[in-house]
Structure 1
């Protein structure tokens, strides 16, 4: 069985599943409304897929949601193997300290 991609993927999937269940529709119905294959939607809901922006927008549209609601509160710290922990604010502070 595939593992969860990241905490962000797990949370996104849980939010999509919760919204789908709130409307009392199954994965096949939501996938059809969003123009996806139901197996892909299942992987997304389990956090086993990293959906593209287009896929997130399709799902949010089908659920009549602002896509931001699905991503609210998520941060880059929820991603595995983040290459840099430095932010643009850190970079600017370092530049100002060197001048």
Structure 2
């Protein structure tokens, strides 16, 4: 089974909460976002890493801002990443090696 990201799970939960607060079904959201209902379910369960196009379609359909869905997510929440440094940390490390 594929390893899904913690970030995808969190985003999916936030999308589901937004949809439920509006009283919409997954079918309603799929219709409004012009997506297949199966894909909406996969996004909400964190079983896929939604593309930017998918996130924009869902946010438009729900009249929601993407920043609320992705707030607090970090690169560490993506499985398989080997680079753990931020750009600032990387640049500091390079500078210290040159010194």
SS of residue paired to 1:74: coil
- 1:47 corresponds in structure 2 to 46
Show the 5 A alignment for 1:1-99: 5-97=4-96, 98-99=98-99
Cα RMSD, aligned residues only: 1.4
**Hey, which bits of structure 1, 4+ residues long, moved more than 3 A?**
none
In structure 2, the CA distance between the partners of 1:46 and 1:4, relative to structure 1 (3 Å rule), is farther
- Closer, same or farther in 2 for the Cα pair 1:82/1:4, shift >3 Å? closer
Aligned residues: 98
Q: Give the CA deviation at 1:4.
A: 6.1
SS at match of 1:95: helix
Q: What are the ranges of 5 or more consecutive residues in structure 2 without an aligned counterpart?
A: none
Q: CA deviation at 1:95?
A: 2.5
Structure 1: gaps (5+ residues)? none
Aligned pair in 2 of structure 1 residues 71, 89: CA closer, same or farther (>3 Å)?
same
TM-score, normalised via structure 2 length:
0.91
Q: State the alpha-carbon separation in 1 of the partners of residues 75 and 90 from structure 2.
A: 17
